[in-house]
Structure 1
Amino acid sequence: MELYKAETLLKKYFEGETTINDEQELQDYFASPEVAPHLQQYASLFKHFAVAKGQQYKQEISAFEIHKGENKYKKRNLAWVSIAASVVVLMGIGTYMFYDSETVTKSKDLGTYDDPELAFKATQKALYLLSNNVNVGIESVKYIEEYQIAKNKVFRKQKNKSGGI
């Protein structure tokens, strides 16, 4: 093969534009002893392809594939076990709710007060607890708002740097 043709085919090969016949010509060229010195570095690549073409892969059956059919049954059993566990948990929750609600209905004292001053103090205590919990929630929201503001500043700067809006 002429040196010019070999260089052209090699260029086409690395650009992914060769046909199977072109690649065969390249393999034949690099298998011959007449390879140009500056193309000698590609000879081992094409010799490897020729050797790899002659090799055959013999697949062995692994223990996993033998027991592959058993895995289907295990998956089905796992599904049924998870469904049964869910039913047991739901029944437990239902039983707890049933017996817990009976104790509330049996005791007629539902937090009512006969003395207006005690009722007023209990109401103040409840509203104080509610106020504290709401304030904690509001503080958390303030942190989230500060995070959102900082995040918006950062992303606006990044968009401006990257040529975005």
Structure 2
Amino acid sequence: MVLNNIEKLIEKYLNAETSLQEEAQLKAYFNSDDVAPQFEAYKPMFQYFSESKKEQYTKDVPLKSKKTSLYPWISVAAVAVLILGLVVPNFMGPTEKEKQEAQLVYNQTMEAFSLISIGMHEGKSQLTNLALVGENIEEGVQQASKLGTFSTITNKILKNKSH
């Protein structure tokens, strides 16, 4: 009966279905001297588990890693650069000479834009005059066509009177 029970427990153990109490029964059986010959193959496995429980690691485990990472330092450097980029321009603003040079460049630019604007207005008035000349030429062509018609009619009248 005991062998039948052990066989069922081994089968459950290999299928990972045993409880802690059943595993304790198997360990006790395989650590005893009267193990059945058909179960001798399992004896070293259970004895190993019992022996490995007793083993202890005796060396000191270092808690600090000797290898340092650069990532924290990179983030610190990035924050420092960002702060310097935001703070330094406020303290080290443009000097009085730089402000005067900037004002001079601004005034020269505005003067150049003013000259361009005047030139554009002159060009616009010339285009307006050109448009008026074009209209006058068109009106003259119409008048000339009327004059041509008048001349033709006059010639017909004069030819009719002379006959």
Asked whether the two chains share a fold, i.e. TM above 0.5, the reply is no
* TM-score interval, normalised by the smaller of the two chains: 0.3 to 0.5
Q: Max radius of gyration: which structure?
A: 2
Q: How does the TM-score come out when normalised to structure 2?
A: 0.43
Q: How does the TM-score come out when normalised to structure 1?
A: 0.43
